[in-house]
Amino acid sequence: MEDESEKYGSCKKCGALFYAPYLVCPFCDTPVEDFEKGLELKREAVQDRLKQQLAEQRRLTDSNRKLMQMSMDEIHKQDARQAKHVGLFLLILIAVIAAIVLLVIYL
Ligand SMILES: [Zn+2]
């Protein structure tokens, strides 16, 4: 693990160690200087890294979308629950008003 992190460097801004090659820090989006120097590497190697990062970003996007979907579902559930509470409250209010009206009429 130690060798791996040295190979790929660390973020100059937040200090995160990289266990894979990154163009920008996956934690704070700061461009990775070590990678800039590494652009002298063969084109194929660069493309491999880009491909890896794209795959990683696609995976993150997918999990973000899943999380977003989950929270949207939760919001919808809460809305439904709230709507039920409001409905119940209105029903009780109408019942109370009806009872008062009946009392006024019969007294
Ligand atoms: Zn960082």
Q: What is the pLDDT along the chain (107 residues), one digit of tens a residue?
A: 445 556 777 888 898 888 888 888 889 988 887 665 655 556 777 788 889 999 999 999 998 888 888 888 888 888 888 888 888 899 999 999 999 999 999 88
Q: What is the pLDDT, as a whole number, of residue 6? A: 61
Structural domain count of the chain: 1
Distance 31 CA to ligand 1 centre (A): 8
Distance 67 CA to ligand 1 centre (A): 23
Interatomic CA distance for residues 93 and 65, integer angstroms? 42
Q: What is the pLDDT, as a whole number, of residue 59? A: 92
Distance 41 CA to ligand 1 centre (A): 23
3-state secondary structure at position 17: strand
Distance 22 CA to ligand 1 centre (A): 11
Interatomic CA distance for residues 87 and 99, integer angstroms? 18
- The domain of 92 spans 2-106
Tell me the whole-structure pTM to 2 decimals: 0.32
Q: What is the 3-state composition of the chain as percent helix, strand, coil, each rounded to the nearest 5?
A: 75, 5, 20
Q: What is the pLDDT, as a whole number, of residue 2? A: 47
Distance 81 CA to ligand 1 centre (A): 41
